[in-house]
Amino acid sequence: MRHGATEAEVQRVVGVIREMGYQARPMPGTQRTAVGLVGNDGRVDASRLEGLPGVQEVIHVSRPYKQVSREWKPENTVVRLPGGVTVGGTDVAVIAGPCSVESGSQLIDAARIVREAGAVILRGGAFKPLTSPYSFQGLGRPALKLLARAREETGLLICTEAIDPDGVGWVVEVADIIQIGARNMQNFSLLRAAGRAGKPVLLKRGISATITELLLSAEYLLAEGNQDVILCERGVRGFDTLTRNLFDLSAIPVVQKLSHLPIIADPSHGTGLRDKVIPMARAAIAAGADGVMIEVHPNPDEAKSDGSQSLFPDQFAQLMREVRVIAEVIGRRIAEPAPVGA
Ligand code: PEP
Ligand code: MN
């Protein structure tokens, strides 16, 4: 719509889109309101819309994903979390914690360590979708209770994974962010359930997914009405065995050009090796990531999963000092934890 178009003009456009048999999604922006059209499976004849009062232009979205694209919404999406934490604005959010929740004491130790160093979100899996059925599968629902307690005691927000549609219902009671793992990026019933859950979703790139496939999976979440989606680059399968994965940092600027959604990076799974996590976390922030997810364990040598890529507490504290400086150089800031009790 034109700058200054009236509410009545916007509503007229909405009405005509509905008469044409589609759904209309008005999106007020800082400069002007856009009205999105969904429900078509081909090019729409826009002649009825172009001439309506207040309409500036009709833009046909050329990408296979729609609501996720910058054509649909030019302004960055800022995901707002409790306590004023944002992902996708100027702040860079650090999500840290163990791969898996292993016990109450392990989790609370990890939470205190990462909070003290400056993380704002605690990660930790209750349900682990690991490649082998004989690997640790997570503590399940009891771990969700431990996460809730850690949130209460430290004020950290919680990011934890749901691996099936039923699990979304349990995870949503505790999590501030529902994580969808790489192995589940194209689990469409899970995506639909998470899209309806009413909480922000962290969607990790599949192990062999293209960027277009990642964005199409995100489209499932937006199509269910969830706008609060954070994408995550976590490395793809490469040909070299010296790292666990090929950490595709170029995906960050590519996604930022194509989509308004925030994108963070996970150098822990991206490299799989503790001493490679630190330089690649620095690089991810320099490349413009809206956050980083880092595995940190109070005692990595005893971790039940992903110990070899988990940072020792002092390494994480050092990394936090470094990334504060890097963020500042590119005009950003590492999000600070709120004072406890605030
Ligand atoms: C995890 O975050 O611990 C995890 C299993 O990640 P991914 O889905 O990226 O492998
Ligand atoms: Mn892990």
Asked if residue 204 has its Cβ within 6 Å of ligand 1, the reply is: yes
Ligand nearest to the CA of 266: 1
pLDDT of residue 338: 77
List the residue whose alpha carbon is closest to atom 10 of ligand 1. Answer: 182
Instruction: Say which residue, 113 or 61, is predicted with more confidence.
Output: 113
Indicate if the pLDDT at residue 126 is higher than 60: yes
pLDDT tens per residue, range 198-220: 999 999 999 999 999 999 999 99
- This prediction has a pTM of 0.94
Indicate if the pLDDT at residue 158 is higher than 70: yes
pLDDT tens per residue, range 163-201: 999 999 999 999 999 999 999 999 999 999 999 999 999
pLDDT of residue 282: 98
Task: For residue 168, give every residue at least 6 positions away whose Cβ sits within 8 Å of its Cβ, in sequence order, or none.
Answer: 162, 178, 190, 193, 194, 197
Atom of ligand 1 nearest to the CA of 234: 9
Instruction: Tell how far the Cα of 256 is from the centroid of ligand 2, in angstroms.
Output: 25
Mean pLDDT of 98-125: 98
Q: What is the DSSP-derived secondary structure letter of residue 246?
A: B
Which residue from 95, 102, 183 has its CB within 8 A of the most atoms of ligand 1, so it is best to mutate? 183
List the residue whose alpha carbon is closest to atom 6 of ligand 1. Answer: 181
Instruction: Tell how far the Cα of 125 is from the centroid of ligand 2, in angstroms.
Output: 8
Contact 188, 167 (CB under 8 A): no
pLDDT of residue 7: 96
Indicate if the pLDDT at residue 328 is higher than 70: yes
Q: Which of 268, 270, 271, 285 is nearest to 320 (CA)?
A: 285
Which residue from 122, 190, 266 has its CB within 8 A of the most atoms of ligand 1, so it is best to mutate? 266
Instruction: Tell how far the Cα of 258 is from the centroid of ligand 2, in angstroms.
Output: 28
pLDDT tens per residue, range 249-273: 999 999 999 999 999 999 999 999 9
Contact 232, 214 (CB under 8 A): no
pLDDT of residue 319: 98
Query: 230 is written with which tokens?
Result: 């954070």
Q: Classify each residue of 164-177 as buried b or exposed e, where b means 16 or more C-beta atoms within 10 Å of its C-beta.
A: ebebbebbbebbbb
Asked if residue 205 has its Cβ within 6 Å of ligand 1, the reply is: no
Asked if residue 73 has its Cβ within 6 Å of ligand 1, the reply is: no
Please report where in the chains the tokens 């505790």 appear, as a residue.
174
Contact 38, 22 (CB under 8 A): yes
pLDDT tens per residue, range 290-308: 999 999 999 999 999 999 9
Share of the chain above pLDDT 90, in %: 93
pLDDT tens per residue, range 43-72: 999 999 999 999 999 999 888 899 999 999
pLDDT tens per residue, range 75-102: 999 999 999 999 999 999 999 999 999 9
The alpha carbon dihedral of 231, 313, 144, 136 has a sign of positive
